[in-house]
Structures are given as structure tokens and as C-alpha cells.
Amino acid sequence: MTREHAYKLRDLLHKASTSLSDEDALEAVELFPVWQTDTDYWQGDRVRDPVDGLLYKLIIETPEGHPHHSQSDWPPRLVPAVWVRVDNPAEEWPEWRQPQGAHDAYAANAKVSHNGKHWVNTYGDGNIWEPGVYGWEVV
């Protein structure tokens, strides 16, 4: 295989990976680029965090023709208002994380793990509270 052919295949794999569902993307995390500083990203882009290796999706709206430009002090794992971790929907008790707004608040009956316990959301849709504070029941 020539180097030129390898680059074409890489580009095709990248194009194909953008059409994967989040669940399928988690099966092939290696297809997604590692997040880099000084790089333009668009809403819906998925990247691997360079430290934890997990998959993240850009959730902020990018105005038409204007991408989100990455900064060294805003890696995906540290700015949940910009990047959301892509979780496996098949995982029954994913680790709880603090919602940043309505877009990632917990739905009614959501299940999470937190501080070594399993919790179920009893508040209803839009729960933003930490388990043990309000709106969650230990199972």
C-alpha cells in the first residue's frame, strides 16, 4: 500500500466515523482523533481526551461559519459545559457527573453510581442535584 493510498483510507475512515451513533463510536474510539489545542471543532465533533483517553462530544452551538477554537486550558475532561463525555447507554450504573444545564440534566428514573453506591433519580426529568443531596434514592 502506498502512503497516498493510506492517507485516502484514513480520510475515508474519518468520514465514516462521523456517521456512527455514540454507542457504535464507543466500540471504535480509536477512529476518533485525539483532542488538540489551537484546533477548530464544530458542534457534534467527537474526540479522545489526551489524558483519560475517553470519548467526548462538543455540545456548544457553533455559530454558522464559526467553529469552537480549542485552548490548552480547556481540555474536554475539564469543561463539561463545552464537551460532554460519551457514555455507553448499555452501562446500567454510569458514574454520576454534575450536569451543566438542561442539556445534560438527568431524566426521571436515571441510574448512576456515586460514592460507591447505586442511585435512582426520584426527582423526575431535569435533576441536576448530586446523589445524597436531593432527588435520588439509594438502591
- Global pTM value: 0.65
Q: Which residues of the chain have pLDDT under 50?
A: none
Task: Return the pLDDT at 113.
Answer: 93
Which CATH number is 1-88's, of 3.40.50.1980, 2.130.10.10, 2.10.10.20, 3.30.420.40? 2.10.10.20
Task: Return the pLDDT at 21.
Answer: 87
Backbone CA torsion sign across 77, 80, 86, 89: positive
Task: Return the pLDDT at 18.
Answer: 82
Q: Domain 92-139 class?
A: mainly beta
Please, which residues have CB within 8 angstroms of residue 5's CB and are 6 or more apart in sequence?
Answer: none
Domain ranges across the chain? 1-88, 92-139
Task: Return the pLDDT at 137.
Answer: 96
Side chain identity, residue 29: V
Q: Do domains 1-88 and 92-139 have the same CATH topology?
A: yes
Task: Return the pLDDT at 129.
Answer: 94
Task: Return the pLDDT at 12.
Answer: 84
Please, which residues have CB within 8 angstroms of residue 18's CB and are 6 or more apart in sequence?
Answer: 46
Q: Which of 85, 121, 88 is nearest to 104 (CA)?
A: 85
